[in-house]
Amino acid sequence: MSTPTVVLVHGAFADASSFARLIPELRADGIPVLAPAVPNRSLGGDAAYIASVVRQIDGPVVLVGHSYGGAVITVAGVEDNVTALVYLAGYALEEGESLGELQGRFPDSPLASALVQREYPTGVPGGTGTDVYVDPDRFHAVFAADVDAELAEVLAVTQRPLAAAAFAEPATAAAWRTRPSWGTVSTADQTINPDVERFGYQRAGATTVEIDASHLVMLSRPKEVAAVIRDAVRATA
């Protein structure tokens, strides 16, 4: 079997550039990497988009999902050529479970009071939806506390929002039931309660690594994250 391609799936309030420090670590080991842009419009639609990317890759794929991206790979990971899942401070949902339901089992993180909403046109005449962002003034503390302040300021004003409807949409599959999984817990996470991460990983039977990091663990601790992904690649190659 050829070396799996690692597909990096970003989450809400970020984009694929959030993997900028992780990608060189993986490529230095000769691991093929792809980091597509996720629409962040709906869990089903986002998972279908990532699944379409996966289907067009020759050979095996290791799916890596950060934050909301974890929910996306949970659904998209049932594609035939997906050999493993890696969650980075992410949501490992059960089939039929939504982000809101999983989060609701645990105390809120500081993110809950830092969210702001803005309307956007849906394309239907007169129709609007709601986008969710992190308050830029609180972005550094809540989302990226251990990331350089100047970089965090840029990230705060270039957020890719998540449509609010995605929080209540149930997962249509739980790929971790048929795929081996790994997960990193960000122990200093102020965006997702670290116990949400631990619970999801334990339920999935994931090999779990705890990292003293903010939510943006792949930017602040790229070497540690790369080591976990390498383990998944080696175990399934």
Q: What pLDDT, on a 0 to 100 scale, did the predictor assign at position 98?
A: 98
> What's the average model confidence in pLDDT over 36-44?
97
What local confidence, expressed as pLDDT, does residue 1 receive? 60
Read off the pLDDT of residues 66-107 as tens digits, 9 standing for 90 and up.
Answer: 999 999 999 999 999 999 999 999 999 999 999 999 999 999
CA atoms within 13 A on the CB side of 173: 17
What pLDDT is attached to residue 237? 85
Decide: 8 and 22 in contact? Cβ < 8 Å. Answer: yes
Q: What is the largest CA-CA distance in the chain?
A: 52
Instruction: Provide the token pair at 98.
Output: 């939504």
Q: How confident is the model at residue 224 (pLDDT cuts 50, 70, 90)?
A: very high
The set of residues, in sequence order, having a beta carbon less than 8 Å from that of 9 and lying 6+ positions away, is 36, 38, 50, 63, 64, 65, 66, 69, 72, 73, 76
Q: What is the DSSP string of 79-112?
A: STTEEEEEEES---PPTT--HHHHHTTSPPPGGG
pLDDT tens digits, one per residue of 148-178: 999 999 999 999 999 999 999 999 999 999 9
Residue 193 — very low, low, confident or very high, per pLDDT cuts 50/70/90? very high
Give pLDDT, residue 175.
Answer: 98
- Tell whether pTM > 0.85: yes
Distances (CA, A) of 203 to 159, 177, 197, 198, 224: 31, 10, 10, 9, 23
Q: CB under 8 Å to 174, separation ≥6 — which residues? A: 74, 93, 94, 95, 204
Is the pLDDT reported for residue 2 higher than 90?
A: no
- Using pLDDT thresholds of 50, 70 and 90, give the confidence band for residue 134: very high
